[in-house]
Amino acid sequence: MAESATMDSRTQLKKQAGEFAAGFVESGMVVGLGTGSTAIHAVRKIGERIRTGELRNIIGIATSIQTHKEAVQLGIPLMQDTLPRDVDITIDGADEVDPEWNVIKGGGGALLREKIVAQVSRRFAIVVDEDKISDCLGTRFYLPIEVLRFGWESQKRFVESLGARVEIRKNSDGTDYATDSGNMIFQAYFGPMQDPAALSAKLGARAGIIEHGLFAGLATDLVVAGAKGVQHQHKERR
């Protein structure tokens, strides 16, 4: 019963954070629609605001097939996946956030599309419950790394050489997980990361690593829901 109550409480916090950030959206905007259990509440709130007529001339870009399906059901107009326009604001969740607003994302497997959309967004709002806040990335969550299937064992050895313990993400039936782009996901356990930027550069320079879940210097807004309510901070992108 206590565990169930805790889960209900966390769900409520996620809902509060997501719905708060949905308030950043204004009529006429191009909006990045995030993926995951917190961002989905923002997507649903945006859909509600469109249905009531509060928001007009909104066009969304979904960061995953899952979110795309949800947006269609909610009646949110969507632009082509080619991203013909830049994005006014993207609202997305995170698995871990450090004091500098460096973020680990990708627990839901959508890190590649999420980062593409984040990088073309004028504002990138991260929405989390207070349990996702950390003094140092890697303390609370592993680093997801999306890799090409060709040569994946060589990439595993490379990531291990950087100090990580690597697991291959699996589906519930034991088969290898596949991202929306058909790639594999490594779950890389680095432990506390003293220099996320340096690690990001090493992973980004490696052929065969499609993308990784370190989002550094992208967040412009941080929305945290906790016992004291919803806290919002904003800063200009570096």
pLDDT digit string, tens, across residues 37-56: 999 999 999 999 999 999 99
Distances (CA, A) of 183 to 36, 66, 93, 139, 186: 19, 16, 21, 26, 10
pLDDT above 90 covers what percent of the chain?
A: 95
Is the pTM higher than 0.85? The answer reads yes
Token pair, residue 132, equals: 């996702």
The closest of 132, 145, 143, 136 to 96, measured between CA atoms, is 132
Model pLDDT for residues 110-147, shown as the tens digit of each residue: 999 999 999 999 999 999 999 999 999 999 999 999 99
Q: Which residues are within 8 A (CB) of 59 and not within 5 positions of it... i.e. 6 or more apart?
A: 29, 30, 31, 77, 78, 79, 85
Cα dihedral 98, 103, 104, 109 in deg (nearest 10): 150
d(CA 40, CA 38): 5
Render pLDDT for 171-216 as a digit per residue (tens, 0 to 9).
999 999 999 999 999 999 999 999 999 999 999 999 999 999 999 9
pLDDT above 50 for 148: yes
Two structure tokens written together for 107: 């627990």
pLDDT of 2 higher than 80:
no
- 1 — pLDDT class (breaks 50, 70, 90): very low
- What is residue 177's predicted lDDT score, i.e. its pLDDT? 97
Average pLDDT, the chain: 95
pLDDT computed for residue 236 by the predictor: 86
pLDDT at 117: 98
Which is catalytic among the residues 19, 114, 146, 211?
A: 114
Contact 137, 214 (CB under 8 A): yes
Beta-ladder partners of 31 = 60, 89
pLDDT band for position 3 (cuts 50, 70, 90): very low
Helical H segments across the chain, by residue range: 2-22, 39-51, 65-74, 111-119, 152-161, 196-204
Q: Is 114 in the active site?
A: yes
Per-residue pLDDT at 8? 86
Identify the bridge partners of residue 89 per DSSP, sorted by sequence position.
31, 123
How sure is the predictor about 238, in pLDDT bands with cuts at 50, 70 and 90? low
Percentage of the chain surpassing pLDDT 70? 97
